[in-house]
Copies of this chain bind each other. A is one copy, B any other.
């Protein structure tokens, strides 16, 4: 452990030692990328890679767009070459013919990105580069194809086996904590005092995934409250003047906020792994924990109700709970899954809709998005795999009988209201 720890410190130290690039190189960037993917690039690649990344760093959006187009159009596959290699492969499936196929089927920009990644700090730079690409490339087929190559490489680089789960607490470095403040996407953290309240009390936990090559950047983090019983309100959960619960008295771990940190890692889903790993770790630490639930927003509820022309009243708690249950169980996406994105995430992980609450998030956003309603998704580790399979295969949504019956009441009410109307 120690040695490993020490081992990694090098990456960081090096940052300060790296000699700056002395002479300028005013060749166009296309010349640099061509050289980097060439045979020469294999040996003298590091300074070339730094030069390209430095150059990129100073580009404005238009220049970046041009650079992406260069990668997309000039460094892509050649269908003829693929076809020829494929033919060779079919004629004789040998090492050589397969190697030729693999070489033809992989666009040169993939090797370019791998070689850019030689430089300390490059991994984070490439993640930011992809964030730019996602932003600038929405309307452009070639750039979207280029993005597939980033995704492909990131799937290898950010493989679960390379991620490291770390607790985030009040003893974590300030430069990491300021990122937690910045990246919290669900319930905003207002100040360092607010952060302290999230991290420091004995009944609070926070965990993040990191990648060894980006030690200063959390990839995703989850905030947890330890409670007795399943909570029904985020205000109560986060209130400033609570008395912290001794961990040994807790029976429930509430995952009340999960935030992705890196736009450039979109579509590389870590959430499922994070939840399961943290759940497993907490159970080892606190054998008394019996229940793992979320306290989640229902971001699409109001929009859907309005779209459907269904009237709602945040003050009518029974009504709100019925409508929330109805929405979560019945509102469907075109592709067949649940309309609500948070529901899709947790149900896809094998959780079930456990309880719905009204008046549970009376922040401005909570009222605007869901009329104050929230939901607990339950992670019952013995059902998770089965739930996941049914959901994956048949879009079947696991829900408690309580929630089912609320949904049924809502449906009856709709029928009645139609009848009346």
Q: Which residues of A contact B (CB under 8 A)?
A: 1-13, 17, 19, 39-40, 42-44, 46, 77, 79, 82-83, 86, 89-90, 92-95, 98-99, 101-102, 105-106, 114, 117-120, 122-123, 141-142, 144-145, 147-149, 152-153, 155-157, 159-162, 164-166, 170-177, 192, 196, 210, 212-213, 215-216, 272-273, 276, 280-281, 284, 348-350, 384-385, 388-389, 392
Contacts and interface: CB of A to CB of B under 8 A. Distances in A.
A314 to B, nearest CB: 35
B114 A147 contact: no
A390 to B, nearest CB: 11
Given A174-B172, A212-B162, A82 B86 contact: yes
Contact of A95 (B9, B95, B114, B145): B145
Nearest to A111: B155
The 6 closest A-B pairs by CB, nearest first: A95-B144, A5-B5, A98-B145, A4-B215, A2-B6, A212-B212
B83 A79 contact: no
A46 to B, nearest CB: 8
Number of identical monomers bound together in the oligomeric complex: 4
A147 B160 CA distance: 22
Contact of A10 (B77, B166, B175, B392): B166
Contact of A145 (B94, B117, B213, B392): B94
A164 B171 CA distance: 19
10 contacts: A1-B9, A4-B11, A4-B216, A5-B5, A7-B215, A8-B8, A39-B392, A46-B160, A86-B86, A162-B213
